[in-house]
Structure 1
Amino acid sequence: MRVQPRHVHTHTRRALPSVLRQTAEPLLVARGTVSPASVRGVASLSRANTNSIPPAEPWRRHPSSDPETPTVFTFYEKDTSTWQYIVVDPRTSEAVIIDPVLDYDPASGVLSTATADGLVSFVEHNGLKVIRILETHAHADHLTAAQYFKQELNGDVPVCIGRRIKQVQETFAPIYGLELSSLENVFDVYLGDNEEFKLGSLSCHVLHLPGHTPDHVGFVIGKAVFTGDSIFNPDVGSARADFPGGNVETLYASMQRLLSLPGDYRLYVGHDYPQNRDQTCFSTVAEQRAKNRHVKEGTDATTFIQWRKDRDAVLGAPRLLHPSLQVNIRAGRLPPPDGHGRVFLRTPVKLDVKLE
């Protein structure tokens, strides 16, 4: 599987107080090839002039409900059904970006940044200061835009993930022929269980939520909880737990941990798969307890665990499984180019017969 590199023009940025602005012509996203020297992670992907890119329109703006809770801007990426979040302390304009997405077409091998560019433009037009890029886990269904955001936002915004990502890297590095040493310290911050950090005047709490993947974490900021794939909206229910390192029993325990939070807390999910309704990004804990189709109140662990195992046994692999994991365990970096400037992603092949 080949990734089409992009033509590159260099540019720089400067930072203003509480504002991130572009000061020179940015990189142009276009088909073509680039020299090996111009490919640095996702540095071969970039943008047209920032003034020509309109800011992404949030699906909703969820204003702060109290002094401990942030304002949340929600963005739905339809191709992978992914929710991306820009979470803001309204008093300081400091922000974090949660689970950003790169655009990838597996049929053509073309990787682009249209979705990410809209979010970068949103940040700049609203005078936000992004202090962290947060990953809930190593996603298997979309490629993270974390490194691209870091590049576009002065290159000094840390990319953060739960510390158990190292377990995921150890699992998948040999599958894709990667040296484990090449994955050391590719993330900037490895978050510990129950770790606290600040978003302006707000306190952010890291919640370990294993099951879907072993590295999975959520983020609790006041009454806003960013759950990733540890729970879905009530009519969708739960995520699969059959990836290497996944575990149905621990997924159930993680969902119960979320359902034990106060009833008015909002659970912002990582994906939504609407049927006969518009997409939506959150439900309250009380709504989840009453309506979650897989773990509502009264559902015992044995029933859920058996159902989830039976369901996972007939699911196919996610469409972007292999490209996603190869990029995401690198914190959003692409594999290095070959001598001709070409970037390739590997797809393991299983053979039932011997082919000469």
Structure 2
Amino acid sequence: MITPHAEAFFDPLTSTYSYVVHAEGNPQCAIIDPVLDYEPHSATTSTRSAQQLIDYIKKNQLELQWIIETHAHADHLSAGSWIKSQLGGQLAIGTPITQVQHTFKNIYHLNDQVKTNGEPFDRLFAAEEQFLIGDMVVDVLHVPGHTPADMAYHVHGLGIFVGDTIFLPDVGSARCDFPGGNAEQLYDSVHRLLAFPEDTVLFMCHDYPPTSREAQYHCTVADQRKNNIHLRDGISKAEFVAMRTQRDATLGLPKLMLPALQVNIQAGQLPTAEEDGHRYLKIPLNRF
């Protein structure tokens, strides 16, 4: 009998949860949504958060099979490429990343080194595809709305890693005003997830807790259907879209969006060093 496990790691600076997913008795594992630490004031990167994942894998004598992204994140830089350089494994994301690469290659006016065919990711998961983490079966669910390329991953016997599709019930839902976002699609995507059995565990990509509680990384479908402040049972699509549209109009850009997306559409690869040996990010002025 397979006993799957998800070890959660929280980065308080970006409110992001990363995971190591594995099963007892099988060394193969996956990392989901790893964070590369970035200090915006000094434009410095570090691998403190990613090293915690590596330390866990080494301590438990695991073998890294996959480094999986739920989407191209706007709130943190991905450590996917750095982790691959340390432990190997295949970098994977959903097939619609090609659309996101095309959009943001134009926004940043990036050169021909940046591809729009899914490279440098090793594997592009199609909607409804199945794959394995060791002996664990995983279903790929396309859940657009926050971005057009969001994927959720249903690990049989464990739960669903939902990315930014939905947050904990007292936080609600993700914004839909990024390029390619769509509130109607997000409503449909969430309700696809909430159609799973009520005891299905949903693993969060983020938590932004109120002061009354500590950060948490999971809940159940039943919790969401009863208590989600934006998407509980009884809230219509029209009501949600009106709320989300009004709310999104008040939000500023995530503080790391401009550095993050040009890196994350490249699977966490930093720009190639220039003649002076330094790497440079691009910031599009007056674009947002």
Fold match (TM-score > 0.5): yes
Please state how far the C-alpha of 1:90 moved relative to its aligned partner.
1.4
Please state how far the C-alpha of 1:189 moved relative to its aligned partner.
0.2
Distance 1:82 1:311 in 2: 22
* 178, 200, 225: which one aligns with 1:265: 200
Please state how far the C-alpha of 1:93 moved relative to its aligned partner.
2.5
Distance 2:159 2:64 in 1: 18
Q: Match of 1:87, SS?
A: strand
Q: Deviations over 1:6-41 (max 9, x none)?
A: xxxxxxxxxxxxxxxxxxxxxxxxxxxxxxxxxxxx
Distance 2:90 2:136 in 1: 18
Q: Match of 2:231, SS?
A: coil
* 220, 227, 231: which one aligns with 1:295: 231
Question: 1:62 maps to what in 2?
Answer: none
* Runs of 5+ unmatched residues, structure 2: none
Q: Deviations over 1:278-319 (max 9, x none)?
A: 100011001110001101011111101100000001100000
Q: Deviations over 1:149-174 (max 9, x none)?
A: 10000x3x110000000000110001
Question: 2:188 maps to what in 1?
Answer: 253
TM-score normalised according to structure 1 size: 0.78
Alignment of 1:1-356 (within 5 A): 67=1, 70-153=4-87, 155=88, 157-179=89-111, 182-183=114-115, 184=117, 185-222=119-156, 223-275=158-210, 276-350=212-286
Please state how far the C-alpha of 1:177 moved relative to its aligned partner.
1.7
Letter in 1 for 2:253: A
Distance 1:105 1:336 in 2: 19
Q: Deviations over 1:45-64 (max 9, x none)?
A: xxxxxxxxxxxxxxxxxxxx
- Aligned residues, how many? 283
Letter in 2 for 1:108: S
Letter in 2 for 1:193: A
Distance 2:215 2:177 in 1: 25
Distance 1:292 1:68 in 2: 31
The alpha-carbon distance between structure 1 residues 296 and 113, as it changes in their structure 2 partners (threshold 3 A), is same
Please state how far the C-alpha of 1:91 moved relative to its aligned partner.
2.6
Q: Match of 2:175, SS?
A: coil
Q: Match of 2:179, SS?
A: coil
Please state how far the C-alpha of 1:194 moved relative to its aligned partner.
0.7
Please state how far the C-alpha of 1:182 moved relative to its aligned partner.
2.7
Q: Of the two, which has the highest radius of gyration?
A: 1
Distance 1:201 1:180 in 2: 39
Q: Deviations over 1:85-126 (max 9, x none)?
A: 111121312110000000000100111111111211111011
Please state how far the C-alpha of 1:179 moved relative to its aligned partner.
3.1
Q: Match of 2:83, SS?
A: helix
TM-score normalised according to structure 2 size: 0.96
Contact 2:70 2:150 in 1 (8 A): yes
Q: Match of 1:207, SS?
A: strand
Distance 1:241 1:346 in 2: 24
Letter in 2 for 1:311: R
Please state how far the C-alpha of 1:69 moved relative to its aligned partner.
5.7
Contact 1:170 1:180 in 2 (8 A): no
Distance 1:170 1:69 in 2: 40
Contact 1:137 1:216 in 2 (8 A): yes
Please state how far the C-alpha of 1:246 moved relative to its aligned partner.
0.5
Letter in 2 for 1:127: Q
Contact 1:103 1:112 in 2 (8 A): yes
* Runs of 5+ unmatched residues, structure 1: 1-66, 352-356
